[in-house]
Amino acid sequence: MINLHILGVQKAGTSALASFLDQHPDIYVVDGKEAHIFDHPTFHKQANKARQARLKYDEKLSNYQGEPIICDATPITLFREHYLKQCIEYNQNAKFIVILRNPLDRAISHYTMSKQRGVEKRTMLMAFLLEPFRLFPHLKVQSWPFDSPARHFSYLSRGFYQRQLKRLYQSVPHDNVFVCHQASLQNEHSQTLNQLFDFLSLTPVSIPQETVFKSTYKRGHWSDCFARLYAKCVFFLIR
């Protein structure tokens, strides 16, 4: 049974963190890092969700050698209350890691990724301004398809960390949650990982430092500066 989840956030360094943890001999990260069990578009329709989760996770353990900790790092889990609830119900004794990033930098990185993938055609400013209208029709949908606008265009919404963490802390013991910042993982690499290993009750091991996240953003439109200003105002008002 998976007993460790990196819940988020997207574009904050979850891949790097999962890679670091995977180098510990007592941790196995599921194949592909992101199992996408609880956010799968059909998971909510399953009559026996526990059995479905077990079967799907078994498909992601091709090289498992009995490591005591098995980790899934699907970063959308924290963002959607429904996904988080399903994840916690799967194993209420699991431990949970959240890595955060400056929400403005995260939003820009998310936007850049969507542009590079060809799913975003608008300028950053228009994408940020239109986000509430793009997401609204999908907010009450129980599960989002993988191509849902709610996944691709939730640039600012995913940066409302306070409400997401509040849901998590209301659902699990605080001692089972470890929150760190991308900057800490980058600038205090060994110290942060040792704190994580202590959280997991594991013997610390030396993990080589690598770039946690390399920004690919290049200013591409004259209105980008206004997009940043708008985002700063949003994050000041909503947390």
Within 10 Å of residue 166's Cβ, how many Cβ atoms? 11
**What is the structure's pLDDT at 214?**
64
42: number of CA atoms within 13 Å, CB side? Answer: 3
Please give the pLDDT value at position 140: 87
For residue 119, the model assigns a pLDDT of: 97
Q: What is the mean pLDDT of the chain?
A: 95
Chain position carrying tokens 């989002």: 144
pLDDT of residue 210: 81
pLDDT in tens, 4-56: 999 999 999 999 999 999 999 999 999 999 999 999 999 999 999 999 999 99
> Which residues are 98's β-sheet partners?
8, 179
For residues 144 and 153, what is the distance between their CA atoms, to the nearest angstrom? 12
Determine how many CB atoms are found less than 10 A away from the CB of residue 177.
Answer: 17
pTM > 0.85: yes or no: yes
Side-chain half-sphere CA neighbours of 55 within 13 A? 7
CA pair distance 89, 67, nearest whole angstrom: 22
User: pLDDT digit of tens for each residue in the chain (239 aa)?
Assistant: 999 999 999 999 999 999 999 999 999 999 999 999 999 999 999 999 999 999 999 999 999 999 999 999 999 999 999 999 999 999 999 999 999 999 999 999 999 999 999 999 999 999 999 999 999 999 988 889 999 999 999 999 999 999 999 999 999 999 999 999 999 999 999 999 999 999 999 999 999 988 766 666 666 789 999 999 999 999 999 98
CB 68 within 8 A of CB 26: yes
pLDDT at site 7: 98
Q: Tell me the residue type at 96.
A: F
Go through the domains of the chain in sequence order and give each one's CATH number: 4-237 (3.40.50.300)
Q: Given this model, what pLDDT does residue 67 score?
A: 98
Q: Which of 79, 229, 225 is nearest to 152 (CA)?
A: 79
Question: Quick one: pLDDT at residue 236?
Answer: 95
